[in-house]
Structure 1
Amino acid sequence: MKTMKTRPWTLILPLAAGLACADASRDDSSSGTVELAALDAVFADYGASDGPGCAFAVSRDGQQVMTRAYGRANLEWDLPNTPETVFEPGSVSKQFTAAATILLALDGSIDLDDDIREYFPEMPDYGEPITVRMLIHHTSGLRDWGSVAGIHGWARTTRIHTHKHALDIASRQRALNYEPGRYYSYTNTGYNLQAMLVERVTGQTFDEFSQERIFRPLGMTKTQWRDDFTEIVEERSIGYRRGDDGEWHMLMPFENVHGNGGLLTTVGDLLRFTRNLDTGEVGGPEFIRLMHEQGMLDSGRQISYAGGLFVGEYKGVREVQHSGGTAAYRGFLTRFPDHGLAVSVMCNVGEANPGGLARAVAELYLGDAIDEEASEDPAGADVDPARVAAFAGGYRDTRTGQFMELTADGAALRLGMGPGGMSLAALSETEFASPAGVSIVFDAATGDGARPGATMDTPVADDVRIEPVEGFEPSASDLAAYVGAYHSDEAEVTYWVEVEDGGLVLRDRYGDGPSLEPVYPDAFRQGGSTFIFRRDEAGRVTQASLSQGRVWDLRFERVQ
């Protein structure tokens, strides 16, 4: 049984109109004093007295120099957020899980290159071993169990999921997204398995091991794993998001899976942990090295993901960071090693962008070290917009079958639609790139006027082939060929495909389901998913497959 920690309420100082702020400290950074007004302005949208908000903390060379809090932790009781409020930072938690796994390896209890089936014999044999190191770097090919649960009809936050459920779903997957080590695909499964691995090897709960080896040695007195969501946690905020009615509604992670997320902590405790990634007080130099060791693909490509950390740059400054979100909680922890600066942000409002908030705070402290030009679009070449427009249209990711769309925007291309789309500037008549490190290089023109294929690279993948696809306007007979029931043992679900109002709809067992938009022959999309009907040699539709971000080519057999 965990010991409940008791802390006195921190004095709340109303230092700015409409803001609930606490424990302001003066910054003595080399870039000069950062005015409180400038920091408060960053969080201006989160200081309402009748809404949820955020907390943040800043450290220089391991010394906390600023901490502030805004908004309400509990709207029903009108309790404010403070720097001591406990939040969940979502996938920021992954670096703690990687740390536990690496400590176990440094103990000699496991080897990072062990086949995971040594510890999880219930997992299928996929022909090639999945190593513990691949779990850390998201190169295992394992499908994300939560995404599969959503396909089944019970997405996270809709059912009380446990590690038993996560392992059961993972062990039912007869196929991987790809051969182990070939690509990167972000998957919570690998981090839940690490938490379970620690428990199987040590005989301790994951929280007991973490308390003994990480939290207590680093003085993280308000940190624990949410392995029992019913437990009372003092000074915990409630997560909120706006409902369709425009009012605040609670959205809490009522589940017991952890390791992928599920850390209960404060902004100050997060800084204590990230400082250890510089000092190695816990783990020593080899621990630091392994935490920052970036994954390697079979192609020899080094990816940006390390031990639950993204290693890269922000506006010309070396940065090590991770973001996260669970239910309506949001978090971001970033460190700029060359400047001794670290910033943690956590929010209990689902609409918050903690990464943008943390980096805005960091810029105030980094001052002249920031290179604004490094964040701008690559210098665009003088390319005829008409040539760019020739590339616009639909494309198919040849790895997954997923549909993607490129639109022309003058001399630039835009990948995806809406506010989540990405602009890629023309570097030449065939090469386009974004500040985020995504590039697309088109093949040479064939001379027949057809759109060429292309190779796409990202910070975590290389040589991804995308091929142009033509639009699809299915006739009534085309649609009739798809009608039927499709079952997946891996997702334990049956979908019924029906024709309604001249289009296809996908029904679940309750008769609910979305309309499907045709995107290329035999392929339809709904949201971020692509549903592809597959034919036998005689041309009959006998299968379907579903691909989305974290699940590739999940097969369904036609059963009627």
Structure 2
Amino acid sequence: MKTRLWTLILPLSAGLACAGPNPGGSAGGTIELAALDAVFSDFNDPNGPGCAFAVSRDGQQVMARAYGMANLEWDIPNTPETVFEPGSVSKQFTAAATILLALDGRIDLDDDIREYFPEMPDYGEPITVRMLIHHTSGLRDWGSVAGIEGWPRTTRIHTHSHALDIASRQRALNYAPGRYYSYTNTGYNLQAMLVERVTGQTFDEFSQARIFGPLGMTKTEWRDDFTEIVEERSVGYRRGEDGQWHMLMPFENVHGNGGLLTTVGDLLKFTRNLDTGDVGGPEFIRLMHDEGTLDSGRRIGYAGGLRVGEYKGVREVRHSGSTAAYRGFLTRYPDHGVAVSLMCNAREADSGGLARQVAELYLADAITEASPADPAGVDVDPARVAAFAGGYRDTRTGQYLELTADGSSLRLGGGIQGLQLMAASETEFTSPAGVSIAFEPGAEGGRPAAIMNTSGAVDVRIEPVGEFSPTAADLADYVGAYRSDEAEVTYWLEVEDGSLVLKDRYGDGEALDPVYPDAFTQGGTTYIFHRGDGGRVTEASLSQGRVWDLRFDRVP
């Protein structure tokens, strides 16, 4: 167990407010505890997991409360001093460590990462440290590749050696470095390893000396050994198919991408430093908030493990996170001096939604709601909207997506569960979630292509695809074994009951749905088959959220 100087506190029962200066105070007046408790009504249960949150104003913590249970087997409640994991909220700490190392002059953010990781392939264009920070490296997400192999996160004790091994086996990138944005944990695991290789310290030792210690974060550490005893740590829980709570813990040693063990109070100490620069100074603050820029010159809104943007008219700097059943959200509204930290040990918790509900109570009149509008946006002929409905192909990745018509609006993802896009004009559709689709001038006799933008993908061209109803003879073309050395896995394709079925090494599998010629989908993954000169299928590729065009050779 790492040595820690723990703060002595009295036990706090679930839902009890933590004393502090001006408890509940805000620019908009006193915040009623009942209003805060109402936000967490679904998690204030002595028979289930819950959440803890804290609020600061101008760097002073003004509120901290907790709900639900930290440990269901021992009936231990969550408190504001409970240790959780905030998932990818951790990334800003990793970026901070990398930036501090650069400010020390020990690395340059524009260094080629192969200076520190010679085992990584030469992709023809350099990947810089800065690209690791901004998710513009093109590196595939190692955890996604591990899942393709058959060992998704939480099913095996992954280490940094595994992460680096998987990354170094990738013969191709998702895209040329700097061309696009693609969220990838690989870049943040590499940063943690980079700090260790340059300093000779463990990542936790460096972080304790340069970040946690100076900021007084006495209950924060990296989970670099999941077997260590951590005082006051909560257990993560998910709801099982039987309706009961089941443990779901991150039994892995990868960190830097996530893996921070901390409290809501300690998170506020760190985010305050992003205003003051007590650690790092003004250049540290600038680099932490410096948004990534693509080769096209477009800025992407992702900075040093931080998303920079607006929420209901208020400037916001935030990041969300999830690891196993833990959920986290850390957000700051610099123009109003308000910050909210929140962590939960329930997988079902919408950490961002909960934290922002708390923030709205403290921001009061600073929040501006969008004016009420017709659910369909502008008045567009439903028949015109219906003309856009159908299947589309992401031209970068080959991934399939579906648009369905819903009166004067579209749904992305199909059916009533899809994301609703309201009409902004006869050819443009948008959602409050930041997704927009703009159709190109009409295509003669068919659906037009469109440009789609989301929070994680900008200027993506999507093209309409026709329906694909393969015959038994067509399906026979795909039958066989396919091998990927990059993922160290072989898949088998067979025809069963008139469907193409993808099976793993254990003989388990599910049917694939045909979506366009030589392309099938299953669970958000698109499988595309490629043919040689003679028309025979010779290889396949797989594309999903964080892995694009992973190739499989057909086994003779």
1:292 lines up with 2:289 in the alignment:
yes
**In structure 2, what is the equivalent of residue 280 of structure 1?**
277
Match of 1:305 among 271, 278, 302: 302
Match of 2:258 among 254, 257, 261: 261
Equivalent residues of 1:4, 1:234 under 8 A apart: no
* Cα deviation, residue 437, structure 1: 2.6
Q: Residue 82 of structure 1 aligns to which amino acid in structure 2? A: T
Rounded Cα–Cα distance in structure 2 between residues aligned with 1:180 and 1:73? 42
1:452 lines up with 2:445 in the alignment:
no
1:200 lines up with 2:229 in the alignment:
no
1:409 lines up with 2:406 in the alignment:
yes
Q: Residue 452 of structure 1 aligns to which amino acid in structure 2? A: P
1:34-183 aligned within 5 A: 34-183=31-180
Q: Describe the superposition over 1:284-333 as per-residue Cα deviations: whole angstroms up to 9, x where unpaired.
A: 00000000000000011000100000000000100000000000000000
1:23 lines up with 2:42 in the alignment:
no
**In structure 1, what is the equivalent of residue 539 of structure 2?**
543
Q: Residue 540 of structure 1 aligns to which amino acid in structure 2? A: R
Rounded Cα–Cα distance in structure 2 between residues aligned with 1:471 and 1:446? 18
* Cα deviation, residue 417, structure 1: 3.5
In structure 2, relative to structure 1, the CA distance for the partners of 1:131 and 1:389 (3 Å cut) is same
Rounded Cα–Cα distance in structure 1 between residues aligned with 2:217 and 2:8? 17
1:558 lines up with 2:554 in the alignment:
yes
Q: Describe the superposition over 1:357-397 as per-residue Cα deviations: whole angstroms up to 9, x where unpaired.
A: 00000000111111111797998222111000100000000
Rounded Cα–Cα distance in structure 2 between residues aligned with 1:419 and 1:34? 37
Report % sequence identity. 79
- For normalisation by structure 2, the TM-score amounts to 0.97
Rounded Cα–Cα distance in structure 1 between residues aligned with 2:509 and 2:63? 49
Rounded Cα–Cα distance in structure 2 between residues aligned with 1:174 and 1:416? 31
Rounded Cα–Cα distance in structure 2 between residues aligned with 1:270 and 1:352? 19
Match of 2:490 among 489, 494, 497: 494
Q: Describe the superposition over 1:439-466 as per-residue Cα deviations: whole angstroms up to 9, x where unpaired.
A: 2111212332x11111112344332110
1:361 lines up with 2:358 in the alignment:
yes
**In structure 1, what is the equivalent of residue 211 of structure 2?**
214
Q: Tell me the SS of whatever aligns to 1:372.
A: coil
**In structure 2, what is the equivalent of residue 16 of structure 1?**
none
Q: Residue 306 of structure 1 aligns to which amino acid in structure 2? A: A
Equivalent residues of 1:116, 1:130 under 8 A apart: yes
Rounded Cα–Cα distance in structure 2 between residues aligned with 1:142 and 1:438? 24
Rounded Cα–Cα distance in structure 2 between residues aligned with 1:263 and 1:80? 21
Equivalent residues of 2:97, 2:207 under 8 A apart: yes
Equivalent residues of 2:502, 2:509 under 8 A apart: yes
Q: Tell me the SS of whatever aligns to 2:549.
A: strand
Equivalent residues of 1:191, 1:260 under 8 A apart: yes
- Of 203-212 and 470-479, the range deviating more from structure 2: 470-479
Equivalent residues of 1:498, 1:504 under 8 A apart: yes
In structure 2, relative to structure 1, the CA distance for the partners of 1:436 and 1:70 (3 Å cut) is same
Rounded Cα–Cα distance in structure 1 between residues aligned with 2:374 and 2:226? 44
Rounded Cα–Cα distance in structure 2 between residues aligned with 1:5 and 1:228? 19
Structure 2 gap segments, 5+ residues each? none
Structure 1 gap segments, 5+ residues each? 14-18
Match of 2:392 among 395, 412, 434: 395
* Cα deviation, residue 28, structure 1: 2.3
Rounded Cα–Cα distance in structure 2 between residues aligned with 1:205 and 1:447? 61
1:371-382 aligned within 5 A: 371-373=368-370, 380-382=377-379
Q: Tell me the SS of whatever aligns to 1:462.
A: coil
**In structure 1, what is the equivalent of residue 234 of structure 2?**
237
**In structure 1, what is the equivalent of residue 2 of structure 2?**
2
1:510 lines up with 2:510 in the alignment:
no
Q: Describe the superposition over 1:458-508 as per-residue Cα deviations: whole angstroms up to 9, x where unpaired.
A: 344332110001111111001111100000000000000011111011111
* Cα deviation, residue 10, structure 1: 3.2
Rounded Cα–Cα distance in structure 2 between residues aligned with 1:357 and 1:415? 25
**In structure 2, what is the equivalent of residue 322 of structure 1?**
319
Rounded Cα–Cα distance in structure 2 between residues aligned with 1:309 and 1:379? 33
Equivalent residues of 2:4, 2:219 under 8 A apart: no
Q: Residue 400 of structure 2 aligns to which amino acid in structure 1? A: F
Equivalent residues of 1:312, 1:318 under 8 A apart: yes
In structure 2, relative to structure 1, the CA distance for the partners of 1:116 and 1:271 (3 Å cut) is same
* Cα deviation, residue 220, structure 1: 0.1
Rounded Cα–Cα distance in structure 1 between residues aligned with 2:140 and 2:371? 35
Equivalent residues of 1:10, 1:82 under 8 A apart: no
* Cα deviation, residue 30, structure 1: 1.4
Equivalent residues of 1:10, 1:84 under 8 A apart: no
Q: Tell me the SS of whatever aligns to 1:142.
A: coil
- Of 521-530 and 190-199, the range deviating more from structure 2: 521-530
Equivalent residues of 2:220, 2:262 under 8 A apart: yes
* Cα deviation, residue 430, structure 1: 1.2
1:11 lines up with 2:11 in the alignment:
yes
* Cα deviation, residue 436, structure 1: 2.7
In structure 2, relative to structure 1, the CA distance for the partners of 1:415 and 1:531 (3 Å cut) is same
1:475 lines up with 2:471 in the alignment:
yes
Rounded Cα–Cα distance in structure 1 between residues aligned with 2:416 and 2:206? 42
Q: Residue 528 of structure 1 aligns to which amino acid in structure 2? A: G
- For normalisation by structure 1, the TM-score amounts to 0.97
* Cα deviation, residue 534, structure 1: 0.9
**In structure 2, what is the equivalent of residue 462 of structure 1?**
458
Match of 1:529 among 499, 521, 525: 525
Rounded Cα–Cα distance in structure 2 between residues aligned with 1:460 and 1:473? 32
* Cα deviation, residue 435, structure 1: 2.2
Rounded Cα–Cα distance in structure 2 between residues aligned with 1:453 and 1:80? 53
In structure 2, relative to structure 1, the CA distance for the partners of 1:419 and 1:381 (3 Å cut) is closer
* Cα deviation, residue 419, structure 1: 7.2
RMSD over aligned Cα atoms? 1.5
Equivalent residues of 2:6, 2:218 under 8 A apart: no
Match of 2:342 among 336, 342, 345: 345
Q: Residue 10 of structure 2 aligns to which amino acid in structure 1? A: T
